Amino acid sequence: MEASALFITLHSRIQNTVSNGPGQRYAIWVQGCTLACEGCFNADTHSLKGARFPIDELADDIIATPTIEGVTISGGEPFQQMPALAHLVAAIRKRSSLSILIFTGFTREELLCISGADEVLSQIDVLIAGRFRQDLRVARGLVGSANKVIHFLSNRYTPGDLDSVPQSEIIIASDGTVTVTGINPLELRS
Ligand code: SF4
């Protein structure tokens, strides 16, 4: 494995969330995206500069997290960090039975032009694909805008499983940190 695949540039992570995919999940948001969707809900993730995190250490933490049934990888744009994404997905798949769901701004057809993406797709359960379109915003069932396409790449989940995911969630950590997340996160007012 080449050296660049040993680290992934992360924006943030949550060890247990119920609003970023079916069931309790570990969610990560990678740092860096050049796709520039108008009205992007996560503009802080666009810069390509961020904290580089050892992938094996991240995989260890994911696999050691109790009660989760899967991992959600979002961003930023996960497929703009190949081969780091491939390394992470392979480590999770090899060492656990956790489900894997990925959000991407690319269409599936575009991904087939990215070296290594087909191998990633062969190892995950759900891909939610396509640019965010502000004029088509729906923000439910894990779909940000109506043009997004959900690809079920295994038989692990059904459309009903995704429809039942809460649209928003407020997580209060033991240190008092408040995180608001989900496909339609609530706005906190002071
Ligand atoms: S692909 Fe995602 S992170 Fe990138 S600009 Fe579009 S909505 Fe934002």
Going from the Cα of 2 to the center of ligand 1, the distance in angstroms, rounded, reads: 27
Residue of 29, 40, 44 to mutate, ligand 1, most atoms within 8 A of C-beta: 40
CB of 7 shorter than 6 A to ligand 1: no
The Cα 99–Cα 114 span in angstroms is 23
pLDDT value for 189:
53
pLDDT value for 105:
98
pLDDT value for 1:
45
Query: Which of 150, 141, 132 is closest to 37 using CA atoms?
Result: 132
pLDDT value for 41:
87
Task: Write the pLDDT tens digit of every residue in 39-77.
Answer: 998 999 999 999 999 999 999 999 999 999 999 999 999
CB of 37 shorter than 6 A to ligand 1: yes
> In whole numbers, what is the pLDDT of the chain averaged over residues?
93
pLDDT value for 141:
87
Task: Write the pLDDT tens digit of every residue in 131-146.
Answer: 999 999 998 889 999 9
Beta strand 70-74 with 25-30: parallel, antiparallel or unpaired? parallel
Task: Write the pLDDT tens digit of every residue in 120-177.
Answer: 999 999 999 999 999 999 988 899 999 999 999 999 999 999 999 998 899 998 888 8
Task: Write the pLDDT tens digit of every residue in 12-43.
Answer: 999 999 999 999 999 999 999 999 999 998 99
Q: Which atom of ligand 1 lies nearest, measured to the CA of 103?
A: 2
pLDDT value for 8:
97
CB of 31 shorter than 6 A to ligand 1: no
Cα 183 to chain centroid distance, Å, stands at 11
When pLDDT is cut at 50, 70 and 90, the band that residue 5 belongs to is low
Q: Which domains does the chain have, with CATH numbers?
A: 3-181 (3.20.20.70)
Going from the Cα of 66 to the center of ligand 1, the distance in angstroms, rounded, reads: 30
Torsions phi, psi of 119, nearest 5? -65, -40
Nearest 5°: the CA angle 52, 133, 182 is 55
Residue of 42, 44, 47 to mutate, ligand 1, most atoms within 8 A of C-beta: 42
CB of 36 shorter than 6 A to ligand 1: yes
